[in-house]
Chain A
């Protein structure tokens, strides 16, 4: 145990787990005691979803070192396929928590498949070109869901693109209605489910990072050519990180969508992708605990600023810029280093 504790990465992952569990226990006990405001209570599930989005994107941006601007696209795939599954299975699986799990698995699988298909062309590119192609795929996914019609009746699922040609029978239900998205969703997402999803994702990521594959991924990030020269398959390992990340985003999407009565494709646009990227950069590249805290804080922040009324989003923007300056400017960094002695810089930045 002592030996384990001395290992920096293991220690870090234990701290992260402990933080998440502690946060869950505290929040859950406040909620159980009835002392929690509805505004915070209503944000618990979306916070979980954004945390998963942030750590999954951190896997791509921080660990694998590729800038992705279309992460919301995978969330979208997960949201639409997962919710469709939840609605379609409403009678087959009456147990809500079980249905939620199945829906999240469906969302994750579909997002993983889409991630794989997108990964084939995307991972051949580098740097900003890779970024713009992920942005493009995000927009394409949005466009497709804005024009997708999925209905279900006694004969099964009917899918059509561009216009509603599902021709449902009397008892049928149009699940995805193009630009109107999905409506009348049963809200079965829970904070506990979100908490478990976060733990599962952390478990997967930490195990991956500490494994042979994880070291290969980071080796490619740090020096692609050197990694290639010792026989590491760049495509394989990059793809591994990309698909795992997409699947996690899919599960997060399902969780998120099942927390509201309605979901539309426009929710998962470029701005949402950017928002998640902000969480990742804010929390520190490769730093999972940082991502978790950043996602939670930045989700709560605009709500906490409601007291400023019309100046709310302006102040949010100023805070964003100031924190970026405070954490990244060398002059301020040096000042902080002097104030907090005995700290070493953690060079996780790619």
Chain B
């Protein structure tokens, strides 16, 4: 017993020392830079989303700091896509002296941290946590992405307006807040619009490899369009397996589908004709977008997805809001919080995920999603 105690304590002390050394790296944080913090999954199953946000935020901060004016000091902590760890990560950032926050990357952890930022009066603008619970009832929580319900209803409207199909199938992820949120409003809006949902099947973590049953169900019920409210990694498997099964309906995705074309080794011809509503298009000719994509590729060897784009916009939106409000870095988190609550609903912001974005005071963003269809391995805007 003593032995174990000794060893454990020794280990902890050594680590504490090492950790102390690690974090005592030259801190550039005087009162000249805003301390901007965020949490997201950098390890574990959802690591891809957290890393995208972290990378893009780093690029934006580098660019802004290089301009010489307003300065940011960015710190991004791992939350492993878990509410408990996210609160721990948030508290670490609070100890560091975070003044403004990027919230959390994924919805459930962000719900947990948003309750904390709300209570501590630290302003948060999340790039990608899209569930309604993140912002509802909290005056200082804002989103850069669409809320899940708006994506669901917009998709149903688009399908009905264009007369793309009358019989639709939905495949959704049963243990995922994002997927479930979009699914619910999609089904509700679809029935209002006169679309018939003929097949409704799910999958879950650990059960996300074989989709033969879901595809067969959609196929045998004669669905002309399959709605996929999910991320692109699962969607890529569905597209591959449907092609094997000889099923080729119209595939309709949401913003999580973005990234499918840049999957390493993915045969993009499988995604031919896939439609998706997304605010970001990495192939866009837009000058800002092109510059961002180029820089991201140079630095990280990958094409940024929509998570990265939202994060990039978040940092620039902060820059604009802080400048407009006449804030300075020596202000306390509470002072900045009050300023940001006032400023965000009044400003209009142009970024890589949309032009003329505005926020309502409940924290939700309004921007126009672009309907894209994949042709010859690139997005083509549907007018």
Given contacts A267-B83, A310-B42, A319-B11, contact A327 B4 (CB under 8 A): yes
B20 touches A323 (CB 8 A): no
B15: CB under 8 A from chain A? yes
B131 touches A147 (CB 8 A): no
**A266 touches which of B11, B15, B43, B175 (Cβ 8 Å):** B175
Cα of A42 to Cα of B1 in the assembled complex, Å: 28
Within 8 A of A (CB), among B1-42: 1-5, 7-9, 11-12, 15-16, 18-23, 42
B108: CB under 8 A from chain A? yes
User: Which residue among A42, A46, A304 has the maximum number of chain B CB atoms within 10 Å of its CB?
Assistant: A42
B23 cross-chain contacts in A, Cβ below 8 A: 306-307
What residue of chain B has the Cβ atom nearest to residue A303's Cβ?
B88
B83 touches A262 (CB 8 A): yes
- Interface segment among A25-33, A179-187, A206-214: the answer is A179-187
Cα of A323 to Cα of B111 in the assembled complex, Å: 35
A146: CB under 8 A from chain B? yes
B180: CB under 8 A from chain A? yes
A283 touches B4 (CB 8 A): yes
- Interface segment among B90-98, B276-284, B294-302: the answer is B90-98
B258: CB under 8 A from chain A? no
Given contacts A293-B8, A323-B7, contact A261 B15 (CB under 8 A): no
A38: CB under 8 A from chain B? yes
B286: CB under 8 A from chain A? no
What residue of chain A has the Cβ atom nearest to residue B86's Cβ?
A260
A179 cross-chain contacts in B, Cβ below 8 A: 174-177, 180
Within 8 A of A (CB), among B225-241: none
A289: CB under 8 A from chain B? yes
B208: CB under 8 A from chain A? no
A267 touches B84 (CB 8 A): yes
Given contacts A290-B1, A306-B19, A319-B15, contact A46 B84 (CB under 8 A): yes
Cα of A256 to Cα of B204 in the assembled complex, Å: 24
B323-358 vs A: 1/0 string, CB under 8 Å?
000000000000000000000000000000000000
The contact size tier of chain A is 35 or more
What residue of chain A has the Cβ atom nearest to residue B131's Cβ?
A180
A300: CB under 8 A from chain B? yes
Cα of A312 to Cα of B88 in the assembled complex, Å: 14
On chain B, the number of residues with a Cβ less than 8 Å from chain A's Cβ atoms is 50
B12 cross-chain contacts in A, Cβ below 8 A: 297, 300-301, 304
**A307 touches which of B5, B9, B18 (Cβ 8 Å):** B18
A264 cross-chain contacts in B, Cβ below 8 A: 83, 108, 175, 177
B89 cross-chain contacts in A, Cβ below 8 A: 306
Cα of A44 to Cα of B83 in the assembled complex, Å: 15
B112: CB under 8 A from chain A? yes
A287: CB under 8 A from chain B? yes
B174 touches A147 (CB 8 A): yes
- B95: shortest Cβ distance to chain A, in Å? 5
- A60: shortest Cβ distance to chain B, in Å? 20
Cα of A188 to Cα of B92 in the assembled complex, Å: 22
A261 touches B111 (CB 8 A): yes
A39 touches B174 (CB 8 A): no
- A46: shortest Cβ distance to chain B, in Å? 6
A297 cross-chain contacts in B, Cβ below 8 A: 8-9, 11-12
B1 touches A346 (CB 8 A): yes
B78 touches A304 (CB 8 A): no
B92 touches A306 (CB 8 A): yes
A129: CB under 8 A from chain B? no
B112 touches A293 (CB 8 A): no
What residue of chain A has the Cβ atom nearest to residue B24's Cβ?
A307
What residue of chain A has the Cβ atom nearest to residue B16's Cβ?
A304
B115: CB under 8 A from chain A? yes
A284-313 vs B: 1/0 string, CB under 8 Å?
100101100110010011111111111011
Cα of A126 to Cα of B252 in the assembled complex, Å: 50
Given contacts A284-B4, A307-B20, contact A180 B177 (CB under 8 A): yes
B78 cross-chain contacts in A, Cβ below 8 A: 306, 312-313
Cα of A119 to Cα of B90 in the assembled complex, Å: 39
Extra inter-chain contacts (16) besides given A260-B84, A262-B111, A319-B11, CB under 8 Å:
A37-B91, A38-B95, A179-B174, A179-B177, A180-B181, A262-B108, A267-B83, A301-B12, A301-B15, A304-B19, A306-B78, A309-B22, A310-B42, A319-B15, A323-B7, A327-B4
A-B contact pairs, 7 of them (CB 8 A): A187-B115, A260-B83, A264-B83, A264-B108, A287-B1, A313-B78, A327-B4
B residues lining the A interface (CB < 8 Å): 1-5, 7-9, 11-12, 15-16, 18-23, 42-43, 77-78, 82-85, 87-92, 94-95, 108, 111-112, 114-115, 131, 133, 137, 174-177, 180-181, 204-205
